[in-house]
Amino acid sequence: MKKLKKLQKLKKNSPKIFVWNYLEDYKKNKRQILNITSKVFGSGNLILSKEVLNFENNFSKFTQNKFGIGVNSGTDALQIALMSIGIKKGDEVLTVSNTAVPTVSAIVSCNAKPVFIDVNEKDFLINTSLIEKKITKKTKAIIPVNLYGQSANYKEIRKICNNYKIKIIEDCAQSAGALYNNKPSGSLGDLAAFSFYPTKNLGGYGDGGMIVTNNNSLFKSCKKLRKYGMTKNYYSEIHGINSRLDEIQAAILNFHLTKLRSNIIKRRKIAKIYNENLKTNSLILPIENIDNYHSYYVYVVRHPQRKKIMDYLRKNNIFCNISYPFPIHSMKGYRYLNIRNNDLKITNKLSKEIFSLPMYPELSTIKLEKIINDINKF
Protein backbone atom coordinates (compact mmCIF):
# COMPACT_ATOMS: atom_id res chain seq x y z
CA MET A 1 0.00 0.00 0.00
CA LYS A 2 1.46 3.34 -1.08
CA LYS A 3 3.40 5.20 1.61
CA LEU A 4 2.17 2.88 4.34
CA LYS A 5 3.98 0.22 6.28
CA LYS A 6 2.97 -3.33 5.51
CA LEU A 7 -0.48 -3.88 6.97
CA GLN A 8 -0.42 -5.49 10.38
CA LYS A 9 -3.23 -7.98 10.65
CA LEU A 10 -5.65 -7.34 13.47
CA LYS A 11 -7.46 -10.15 15.23
CA LYS A 12 -11.17 -10.65 14.68
CA ASN A 13 -11.83 -9.36 18.17
CA SER A 14 -9.98 -6.11 17.43
CA PRO A 15 -11.16 -3.03 19.34
CA LYS A 16 -13.91 -0.89 17.90
CA ILE A 17 -12.79 2.09 15.83
CA PHE A 18 -15.13 5.05 16.20
CA VAL A 19 -15.54 8.07 13.93
CA TRP A 20 -14.20 10.25 16.76
CA ASN A 21 -12.81 9.45 20.19
CA TYR A 22 -12.19 12.21 22.73
CA LEU A 23 -11.36 9.60 25.38
CA GLU A 24 -7.98 9.13 23.72
CA ASP A 25 -7.23 12.80 24.37
CA TYR A 26 -8.38 12.49 27.98
CA LYS A 27 -6.17 9.46 28.64
CA LYS A 28 -3.16 11.28 27.22
CA ASN A 29 -3.77 14.51 29.14
CA LYS A 30 -5.56 13.19 32.23
CA ARG A 31 -3.14 14.67 34.77
CA GLN A 32 -3.27 18.16 33.26
CA ILE A 33 -7.06 18.07 32.92
CA LEU A 34 -7.60 17.03 36.52
CA ASN A 35 -5.15 19.68 37.74
CA ILE A 36 -7.04 22.30 35.72
CA THR A 37 -10.44 21.32 37.10
CA SER A 38 -9.11 21.11 40.65
CA LYS A 39 -7.70 24.62 40.36
CA VAL A 40 -11.04 25.99 39.16
CA PHE A 41 -13.04 24.25 41.90
CA GLY A 42 -10.57 25.57 44.48
CA SER A 43 -10.93 29.13 43.23
CA GLY A 44 -14.56 29.41 44.26
CA ASN A 45 -15.41 31.00 40.90
CA LEU A 46 -17.47 28.84 38.54
CA ILE A 47 -19.29 31.20 36.14
CA LEU A 48 -17.99 34.10 34.01
CA SER A 49 -14.78 34.73 35.90
CA LYS A 50 -11.03 34.73 35.18
CA GLU A 51 -10.88 31.51 33.13
CA VAL A 52 -13.67 32.64 30.80
CA LEU A 53 -12.03 36.04 30.31
CA ASN A 54 -8.66 34.42 29.56
CA PHE A 55 -10.19 32.06 27.03
CA GLU A 56 -12.21 34.86 25.39
CA ASN A 57 -9.00 36.87 24.96
CA ASN A 58 -6.94 33.93 23.71
CA PHE A 59 -9.51 32.58 21.28
CA SER A 60 -10.42 35.97 19.83
CA LYS A 61 -6.71 36.56 19.14
CA PHE A 62 -6.45 33.08 17.59
CA THR A 63 -9.26 33.99 15.16
CA GLN A 64 -7.85 37.50 14.57
CA ASN A 65 -10.78 39.22 16.25
CA LYS A 66 -10.79 41.97 18.87
CA PHE A 67 -13.61 40.51 20.94
CA GLY A 68 -14.88 37.13 22.16
CA ILE A 69 -18.07 36.35 24.09
CA GLY A 70 -18.16 32.94 25.77
CA VAL A 71 -21.62 31.33 25.77
CA ASN A 72 -23.32 28.06 26.64
CA SER A 73 -23.25 26.43 23.19
CA GLY A 74 -22.74 26.93 19.47
CA THR A 75 -26.51 27.14 19.08
CA ASP A 76 -26.71 30.00 21.56
CA ALA A 77 -23.76 31.67 19.84
CA LEU A 78 -25.74 31.77 16.58
CA GLN A 79 -28.94 32.95 18.24
CA ILE A 80 -27.24 35.73 20.20
CA ALA A 81 -25.34 36.83 17.08
CA LEU A 82 -28.65 37.07 15.21
CA MET A 83 -30.28 38.95 18.10
CA SER A 84 -27.36 41.39 18.21
CA ILE A 85 -28.00 42.52 14.63
CA GLY A 86 -31.71 42.92 15.30
CA ILE A 87 -33.11 39.85 13.52
CA LYS A 88 -36.83 39.66 14.27
CA LYS A 89 -40.19 38.39 13.07
CA GLY A 90 -40.66 38.89 9.34
CA ASP A 91 -36.93 38.92 8.55
CA GLU A 92 -35.30 36.34 6.29
CA VAL A 93 -31.92 34.73 6.87
CA LEU A 94 -30.13 32.84 4.10
CA THR A 95 -28.38 29.56 4.89
CA VAL A 96 -28.10 25.92 3.77
CA SER A 97 -30.15 22.81 4.53
CA ASN A 98 -27.13 20.47 4.59
CA THR A 99 -26.19 21.42 8.13
CA ALA A 100 -26.91 20.57 11.75
CA VAL A 101 -30.29 21.59 13.14
CA PRO A 102 -28.84 24.38 15.37
CA THR A 103 -28.04 26.57 12.35
CA VAL A 104 -31.73 26.74 11.51
CA SER A 105 -33.20 26.51 15.01
CA ALA A 106 -31.27 29.66 15.95
CA ILE A 107 -32.97 31.53 13.09
CA VAL A 108 -36.41 30.22 14.02
CA SER A 109 -35.81 31.08 17.68
CA CYS A 110 -35.52 34.71 16.57
CA ASN A 111 -38.92 34.34 14.84
CA ALA A 112 -37.24 34.83 11.48
CA LYS A 113 -37.58 32.71 8.33
CA PRO A 114 -34.71 30.51 7.12
CA VAL A 115 -34.27 30.62 3.35
CA PHE A 116 -32.28 27.71 1.96
CA ILE A 117 -29.66 27.83 -0.77
CA ASP A 118 -28.35 24.69 -2.44
CA VAL A 119 -24.73 23.58 -2.07
CA ASN A 120 -21.89 22.65 -4.40
CA GLU A 121 -21.67 18.94 -5.13
CA LYS A 122 -17.88 18.73 -4.84
CA ASP A 123 -17.19 20.64 -1.62
CA PHE A 124 -20.65 20.51 0.08
CA LEU A 125 -20.52 24.29 0.72
CA ILE A 126 -23.05 26.99 -0.10
CA ASN A 127 -23.33 27.63 -3.85
CA THR A 128 -22.57 31.34 -4.04
CA SER A 129 -23.92 31.61 -7.61
CA LEU A 130 -27.44 31.00 -6.21
CA ILE A 131 -27.38 33.57 -3.39
CA GLU A 132 -28.62 36.64 -5.26
CA LYS A 133 -31.67 34.76 -6.58
CA LYS A 134 -32.83 34.24 -2.99
CA ILE A 135 -32.42 37.82 -1.77
CA THR A 136 -35.58 39.81 -1.12
CA LYS A 137 -36.42 43.03 0.69
CA LYS A 138 -36.81 40.92 3.83
CA THR A 139 -33.29 39.45 3.67
CA LYS A 140 -31.26 40.76 6.59
CA ALA A 141 -28.45 38.23 7.07
CA ILE A 142 -26.71 35.15 5.73
CA ILE A 143 -25.23 32.26 7.72
CA PRO A 144 -22.70 30.44 5.53
CA VAL A 145 -21.81 27.10 7.14
CA ASN A 146 -18.10 26.24 7.14
CA LEU A 147 -18.88 22.57 6.84
CA TYR A 148 -16.69 19.63 7.91
CA GLY A 149 -13.67 21.90 8.48
CA GLN A 150 -13.63 23.96 5.28
CA SER A 151 -14.67 27.59 4.82
CA ALA A 152 -17.22 28.79 2.29
CA ASN A 153 -16.35 31.17 -0.56
CA TYR A 154 -16.23 34.43 1.41
CA LYS A 155 -14.78 36.47 -1.42
CA GLU A 156 -18.04 36.08 -3.34
CA ILE A 157 -20.23 36.16 -0.25
CA ARG A 158 -18.72 39.44 0.95
CA LYS A 159 -19.10 41.02 -2.50
CA ILE A 160 -22.82 40.13 -2.64
CA CYS A 161 -23.52 41.13 0.96
CA ASN A 162 -21.83 44.49 0.57
CA ASN A 163 -24.02 45.22 -2.47
CA TYR A 164 -27.22 44.35 -0.62
CA LYS A 165 -26.16 45.50 2.88
CA ILE A 166 -26.64 42.04 4.37
CA LYS A 167 -24.86 40.96 7.55
CA ILE A 168 -22.65 37.85 7.53
CA ILE A 169 -22.64 35.47 10.49
CA GLU A 170 -20.16 32.63 10.01
CA ASP A 171 -21.26 29.25 11.33
CA CYS A 172 -17.85 28.00 12.47
CA ALA A 173 -19.10 25.12 14.60
CA GLN A 174 -16.96 22.73 12.54
CA SER A 175 -14.11 24.95 11.35
CA ALA A 176 -11.97 26.08 14.30
CA GLY A 177 -8.42 26.33 12.99
CA ALA A 178 -9.33 26.36 9.30
CA LEU A 179 -8.05 29.10 6.98
CA TYR A 180 -9.52 30.87 3.95
CA ASN A 181 -6.98 32.80 1.88
CA ASN A 182 -4.70 32.60 4.94
CA LYS A 183 -7.33 34.24 7.15
CA PRO A 184 -8.72 32.28 10.12
CA SER A 185 -12.22 30.89 10.03
CA GLY A 186 -14.21 33.29 12.15
CA SER A 187 -12.55 36.45 10.82
CA LEU A 188 -14.45 36.64 7.53
CA GLY A 189 -17.92 37.87 8.55
CA ASP A 190 -19.44 40.53 10.76
CA LEU A 191 -19.68 37.95 13.54
CA ALA A 192 -18.84 34.27 13.87
CA ALA A 193 -20.29 31.52 16.05
CA PHE A 194 -18.21 28.59 17.34
CA SER A 195 -19.20 25.37 19.08
CA PHE A 196 -16.94 23.62 21.59
CA TYR A 197 -18.92 20.37 21.77
CA PRO A 198 -16.60 17.50 22.86
CA THR A 199 -16.18 16.02 19.36
CA LYS A 200 -15.07 19.29 17.75
CA ASN A 201 -11.48 20.14 16.74
CA LEU A 202 -11.50 22.44 19.75
CA GLY A 203 -13.78 20.69 22.20
CA GLY A 204 -14.45 20.83 25.92
CA TYR A 205 -15.87 18.17 28.21
CA GLY A 206 -19.38 19.54 28.01
CA ASP A 207 -21.23 22.19 26.01
CA GLY A 208 -19.72 25.54 25.17
CA GLY A 209 -19.61 28.17 22.45
CA MET A 210 -18.28 31.59 21.54
CA ILE A 211 -19.13 34.58 19.39
CA VAL A 212 -16.21 36.53 17.95
CA THR A 213 -16.28 39.90 16.21
CA ASN A 214 -14.20 42.97 15.44
CA ASN A 215 -17.19 45.27 15.93
CA ASN A 216 -17.24 46.93 19.36
CA SER A 217 -20.96 47.73 19.21
CA LEU A 218 -21.88 44.12 18.36
CA PHE A 219 -19.54 42.89 21.10
CA LYS A 220 -21.32 45.00 23.73
CA SER A 221 -24.70 43.83 22.47
CA CYS A 222 -23.74 40.13 22.53
CA LYS A 223 -22.20 40.42 25.98
CA LYS A 224 -25.40 41.98 27.28
CA LEU A 225 -27.66 39.44 25.56
CA ARG A 226 -25.90 36.38 27.01
CA LYS A 227 -26.86 37.45 30.55
CA TYR A 228 -30.52 38.44 30.50
CA GLY A 229 -29.77 41.75 28.77
CA MET A 230 -27.86 42.97 31.82
CA THR A 231 -24.77 45.14 32.20
CA LYS A 232 -25.19 45.15 35.98
CA ASN A 233 -26.70 42.51 38.22
CA TYR A 234 -30.48 42.25 38.60
CA TYR A 235 -31.31 44.91 35.98
CA SER A 236 -32.18 44.04 32.35
CA GLU A 237 -31.75 46.81 29.80
CA ILE A 238 -33.04 44.65 26.91
CA HIS A 239 -34.57 41.20 26.58
CA GLY A 240 -31.75 38.65 26.69
CA ILE A 241 -31.17 34.99 27.52
CA ASN A 242 -29.14 32.96 30.00
CA SER A 243 -26.12 31.62 28.11
CA ARG A 244 -22.90 31.70 30.09
CA LEU A 245 -19.74 29.68 29.48
CA ASP A 246 -18.64 28.11 32.76
CA GLU A 247 -15.14 28.34 34.24
CA ILE A 248 -14.44 24.58 34.00
CA GLN A 249 -15.06 24.44 30.25
CA ALA A 250 -13.17 27.69 29.65
CA ALA A 251 -10.10 26.37 31.50
CA ILE A 252 -10.15 23.07 29.60
CA LEU A 253 -10.64 24.88 26.29
CA ASN A 254 -7.72 27.17 27.04
CA PHE A 255 -5.58 24.07 27.51
CA HIS A 256 -6.89 22.45 24.32
CA LEU A 257 -6.34 25.67 22.36
CA THR A 258 -2.57 25.30 22.86
CA LYS A 259 -2.76 21.98 21.01
CA LEU A 260 -5.21 22.94 18.26
CA ARG A 261 -2.70 23.77 15.51
CA SER A 262 -0.64 20.61 16.07
CA ASN A 263 -3.79 18.49 16.21
CA ILE A 264 -5.00 19.90 12.89
CA ILE A 265 -1.63 19.01 11.34
CA LYS A 266 -2.23 15.43 12.55
CA ARG A 267 -5.74 15.47 11.08
CA ARG A 268 -4.38 16.69 7.76
CA LYS A 269 -1.78 13.91 7.73
CA ILE A 270 -4.52 11.33 8.29
CA ALA A 271 -6.57 12.89 5.47
CA LYS A 272 -3.51 12.73 3.19
CA ILE A 273 -3.08 9.01 3.94
CA TYR A 274 -6.75 8.41 3.17
CA ASN A 275 -6.46 10.42 -0.06
CA GLU A 276 -3.41 8.53 -1.26
CA ASN A 277 -4.51 5.02 -0.36
CA LEU A 278 -8.26 4.64 -0.63
CA LYS A 279 -9.43 3.11 -3.90
CA THR A 280 -11.89 5.41 -5.59
CA ASN A 281 -13.83 3.17 -7.96
CA SER A 282 -17.16 4.07 -6.32
CA LEU A 283 -15.91 5.97 -3.28
CA ILE A 284 -15.74 9.74 -3.81
CA LEU A 285 -13.20 11.47 -1.59
CA PRO A 286 -13.46 15.02 -0.23
CA ILE A 287 -11.67 17.91 -1.90
CA GLU A 288 -9.75 20.80 -0.42
CA ASN A 289 -10.44 24.03 -2.27
CA ILE A 290 -7.35 25.89 -3.45
CA ASP A 291 -8.08 28.90 -1.22
CA ASN A 292 -8.68 26.76 1.89
CA TYR A 293 -6.65 25.16 4.64
CA HIS A 294 -9.00 22.31 5.60
CA SER A 295 -9.04 21.46 9.32
CA TYR A 296 -10.77 18.09 8.76
CA TYR A 297 -13.22 18.08 11.63
CA VAL A 298 -14.60 15.06 9.79
CA TYR A 299 -13.44 13.22 6.68
CA VAL A 300 -16.58 12.95 4.57
CA VAL A 301 -16.77 10.58 1.60
CA ARG A 302 -19.58 9.57 -0.74
CA HIS A 303 -20.71 6.17 -1.94
CA PRO A 304 -23.79 5.14 -3.99
CA GLN A 305 -24.24 2.10 -1.71
CA ARG A 306 -23.80 3.91 1.58
CA LYS A 307 -25.86 1.59 3.77
CA LYS A 308 -24.17 -1.48 2.37
CA ILE A 309 -20.62 -0.20 2.89
CA MET A 310 -21.40 1.19 6.35
CA ASP A 311 -22.95 -2.13 7.43
CA TYR A 312 -19.89 -3.94 6.08
CA LEU A 313 -17.53 -1.64 8.00
CA ARG A 314 -19.59 -2.00 11.17
CA LYS A 315 -19.22 -5.78 10.99
CA ASN A 316 -15.48 -5.13 10.87
CA ASN A 317 -15.69 -2.96 14.01
CA ILE A 318 -15.35 0.32 12.09
CA PHE A 319 -18.11 2.74 13.08
CA CYS A 320 -18.79 5.63 10.72
CA ASN A 321 -21.28 8.49 10.95
CA ILE A 322 -23.57 10.43 8.61
CA SER A 323 -23.49 14.22 8.72
CA TYR A 324 -26.28 14.65 7.78
CA PRO A 325 -28.79 11.95 6.76
CA PHE A 326 -31.77 14.33 6.81
CA PRO A 327 -31.57 17.80 5.25
CA ILE A 328 -33.27 20.34 7.50
CA HIS A 329 -36.05 21.11 5.02
CA SER A 330 -37.10 17.43 5.00
CA MET A 331 -37.58 17.23 8.78
CA LYS A 332 -41.06 17.28 10.26
CA GLY A 333 -40.20 20.26 12.44
CA TYR A 334 -39.45 22.43 9.40
CA ARG A 335 -41.85 21.18 6.75
CA TYR A 336 -44.00 24.25 7.35
CA LEU A 337 -41.43 26.12 5.27
CA ASN A 338 -42.78 24.28 2.20
CA ILE A 339 -39.45 23.81 0.47
CA ARG A 340 -39.66 21.95 -2.84
CA ASN A 341 -37.11 19.16 -3.30
CA ASN A 342 -36.28 20.51 -6.77
CA ASP A 343 -34.96 23.68 -5.13
CA LEU A 344 -32.26 21.71 -3.30
CA LYS A 345 -31.34 18.90 -5.69
CA ILE A 346 -27.67 18.63 -4.71
CA THR A 347 -28.45 18.77 -1.00
CA ASN A 348 -30.95 15.92 -1.39
CA LYS A 349 -28.52 13.88 -3.48
CA LEU A 350 -25.65 14.27 -1.03
CA SER A 351 -27.81 13.30 1.96
CA LYS A 352 -28.19 9.81 0.43
CA GLU A 353 -24.46 9.28 -0.20
CA ILE A 354 -22.28 11.05 2.37
CA PHE A 355 -20.72 9.48 5.46
CA SER A 356 -17.70 10.15 7.68
CA LEU A 357 -14.70 7.90 8.21
CA PRO A 358 -12.87 7.85 11.57
CA MET A 359 -10.92 11.08 12.07
CA TYR A 360 -9.21 12.25 15.24
CA PRO A 361 -5.58 13.18 16.04
CA GLU A 362 -4.91 10.06 18.13
CA LEU A 363 -6.02 7.64 15.38
CA SER A 364 -3.19 5.11 15.30
CA THR A 365 -1.39 3.91 12.18
CA ILE A 366 -2.52 0.33 12.70
CA LYS A 367 -6.19 1.42 12.96
CA LEU A 368 -5.82 3.67 9.94
CA GLU A 369 -4.33 0.82 7.95
CA LYS A 370 -7.19 -1.47 8.95
CA ILE A 371 -9.80 1.10 7.87
CA ILE A 372 -8.16 1.58 4.48
CA ASN A 373 -7.60 -2.13 3.93
CA ASP A 374 -11.20 -3.05 4.80
CA ILE A 375 -12.66 -0.30 2.59
CA ASN A 376 -10.48 -1.34 -0.34
CA LYS A 377 -11.71 -4.93 0.05
CA PHE A 378 -15.35 -3.85 -0.21
Task: Give the pLDDT confidence of 266-325 residue by residue, as tens digits.
Answer: 999 999 999 999 988 899 999 999 999 999 999 999 999 999 999 999 999 999 999 999
90, with CB counted inside 10 A (0-12, 13-18, 19+), is: exposed
Q: Is the pLDDT of residue 210 over 60?
A: yes
Give residue limits of the domains in the chain: 22-28+260-377, 31-257
Band of residue 8 on the pLDDT scale cut at 50, 70, 90: very low
| Interatomic CA distance for residues 155 and 289, integer angstroms | 13
Residue pLDDT, tens place only, 220-265: 999 999 999 999 999 999 999 999 999 999 999 999 999 999 999 9
Percentage of the chain surpassing pLDDT 90? 94
Q: What pLDDT score does 342 carry?
A: 85
C-alpha of 255 from chain center: 19
Average pLDDT value over all residues in the chain: 95
| Superfamily (CATH) of domain 22-28+260-377 | Aspartate Aminotransferase, domain 1 (3.90.1150.10)
Give Cβ neighbours of residue 232 (< 8 Å, ≥ 6 apart).
none
Within this chain, domains 22-28+260-377 and 31-257 share the same CATH topology: no
Cα separation, 264 vs 255, in Å, equals 15
- What is the distance between the alpha carbons of residues 298 and 307, in angstroms, rounded to a whole number? 19
> 136-155: buried (b, 16+ CB within 10 Å) or exposed (e) per residue?
eeebbbbbbbbbbbbbbbbe
Indicate the pLDDT class of residue 7, thresholds 50, 70 and 90: very low
- What is the CATH topology of the domain spanning 31-257? Aspartate Aminotransferase; domain 2 (3.40.640)
